[in-house]
């Protein structure tokens, strides 16, 4: 059972995205789509034929499978409700960051491979954001890794406690900004936009259709839930199971569901109260979050001494 907990992320990641959209619509006074709409969209795309440009190479066709596989492996190594998974030995913070970087690299190449102006623009913007986000995310995670004495995610989740120290709050703030940037949400990006000139993530997958687009979207949902899980595992680890037992695992699953609900409410609240900023304003926002992540690491080291 513990070895298959990653299926929770794979199967329920579209539901979390649908829940965010529903909550966002409610906060804005709209009805909005149902929480199961992402499942219907994925099924519809899987049934559709694909339109592939004749100028594309193997990169365009291989990217959806690489992105989906990378995000599934990321879900595999992240503890969800239990720390007893057999894959825990490979669950390293650095490996997780590089899996996300691998998916991003091929997505950027695919955006360029289609030969369209909007795809290239989205790829350029994505790599610019990545330069600012990846160091910030690693510093925030390293703050927790130092206190645990290991970069292994299971070890970090096992050792961590809910301790709202200054370094903890700074790292949490920086990591939440990193989640917003990595998942392409307001104010960094707008996942619901239809304006090509403002697209970042959507610009890179603009030329995809059918099964390819379904894999890319599903991979994005998985990545989003992996980041949510990582946040609650490291900064709010209460409820993680360290022993076998059906009742214990069920209770842990219930606590995990409440944590995901809290993250969905937070993302919907941020998107409902903030407007998308201009792209050239992003370095100041993400740079400030990087400073928070750096200060969290420095503060933790100084407090330990």
Count of structural domains within the chain: 1
Q: Which of 28-42, 185-199, 210-224, 264-278 has the lowest mean pLDDT?
A: 185-199
Residue with the two structure tokens 């995809």: 208
Residue of 190 and 289 predicted with greater confidence: 289
List Cα–Cα distances, 32 to 36, 87, 129, 217, 275, in angstroms.
12, 39, 29, 19, 19
The two structure tokens encoding residue 303:
């407090």
* Backbone torsions φ then ψ of 82, nearest 5 degrees: -140, 150
Question: By residue range, what is the domain housing residue 63?
Answer: 2-304
Average pLDDT over residues 115-124: 87
Element of type H or E holding 98: helix 93-113
pTM of whole model > 0.75?
A: yes
Highest mean pLDDT, choosing among 34-43, 193-202, 242-251: 34-43
pLDDT at residue 175 is higher than 80: yes
In the prediction, which pLDDT does 86 show?
67
pLDDT at residue 185 is higher than 70: yes
Half-sphere exposure of 217 (CA within 13 A, CB side): 25
> How far, in Å, CA of 172 to CA of 94, rounded?
18
Percent of the chain scored above 70 by pLDDT? 93
Average pLDDT over residues 275-293: 90
In the prediction, which pLDDT does 233 show?
84
What's the DSSP call for residue 200? S
pLDDT at residue 269 is higher than 90: yes
pLDDT at residue 236 is higher than 90: no
pLDDT at residue 163 is higher than 80: no
Highest mean pLDDT, choosing among 35-44, 123-132, 201-210, 233-242: 35-44
Tell me: cis bond preceding 187? Omega within 30 of 0 counts: yes
In the prediction, which pLDDT does 212 show?
96
Q: Which of 101-110, 177-186, 239-248, 258-267 has the lowest mean pLDDT?
A: 239-248
Buried residues in 158-188 as b, exposed as e (16+ CB within 10 A): bebeeeeeebbebbbbbbbbbbbbbbbbbbb
pLDDT at residue 275 is higher than 90: no
In the prediction, which pLDDT does 162 show?
57
Sign of CA dihedral 210, 4, 139, 289: positive
Average pLDDT over residues 262-273: 94
Whole-number average pLDDT of the chain: 88
pLDDT at residue 207 is higher than 80: yes
Percent of the chain scored above 90 by pLDDT? 55
> How far, in Å, CA of 144 to CA of 165, rounded?
12
In the prediction, which pLDDT does 133 show?
93
> How far, in Å, CA of 86 to CA of 105, rounded?
29
Q: pLDDT category, 235, cuts 50, 70, 90?
A: confident
pLDDT at residue 295 is higher than 80: yes
Q: pLDDT category, 243, cuts 50, 70, 90?
A: low
Q: Which of 14-18, 37-41, 155-159, 285-289 has the lowest mean pLDDT?
A: 155-159
Q: pLDDT category, 108, cuts 50, 70, 90?
A: very high
Question: Are the C-beta atoms of residues 233 and 153 closer than 8 Å to each other?
Answer: yes
């Amino acid at each position: 059972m513990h070895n298959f907990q990653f299926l929770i992320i794979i199967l329920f990641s579209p539901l979390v995205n649908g829940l965010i959209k529903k909550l966002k619509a409610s906060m804005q006074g709209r009805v909005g789509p149902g929480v199961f709409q992402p499942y219907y969209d994925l099924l519809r795309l899987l049934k559709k034929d694909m339109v592939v440009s004749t100028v594309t190479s193997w990169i365009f066709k291989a990217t959806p499978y690489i992105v989906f596989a990378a995000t599934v492996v990321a879900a595999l190594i992240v503890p969800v409700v239990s720390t007893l998974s057999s894959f825990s030995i490979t669950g390293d913070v650095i490996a997780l960051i590089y899996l996300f970087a691998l998916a991003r690299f091929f997505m950027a190449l695919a955006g360029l491979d289609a030969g369209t102006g909007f795809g290239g623009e989205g790829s350029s913007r994505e790599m610019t954001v990545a330069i600012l986000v990846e160091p910030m995310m690693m510093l925030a995670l390293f703050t927790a890794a130092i206190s645990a004495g290991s970069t292994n995610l299971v070890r970090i989740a096992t050792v961590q406690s809910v301790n709202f120290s200054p370094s903890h709050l700074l790292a949490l703030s920086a990591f939440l900004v990193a989640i917003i940037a990595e998942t392409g949400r307001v104010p960094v990006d707008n996942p619901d936009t239809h304006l090509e000139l403002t697209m970042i993530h959507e610009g890179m997958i603009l030329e995809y259709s059918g099964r390819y687009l379904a894999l890319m979207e599903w991979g994005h949902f998985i990545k989003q839930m992996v980041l949510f899980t990582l946040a609650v595992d490291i900064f709010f680890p209460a409820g993680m199971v360290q022993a076998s037992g059906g009742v214990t695992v069920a209770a842990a699953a219930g606590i995990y569901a409440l944590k995901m609900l809290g993250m969905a409410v937070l993302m919907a609240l941020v998107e409902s109260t903030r407007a998308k900023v201009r792209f050239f304003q992003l370095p100041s926002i993400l740079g400030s979050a990087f400073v928070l992540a750096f200060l969290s690491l420095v503060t933790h080291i100084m407090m330990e001494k």
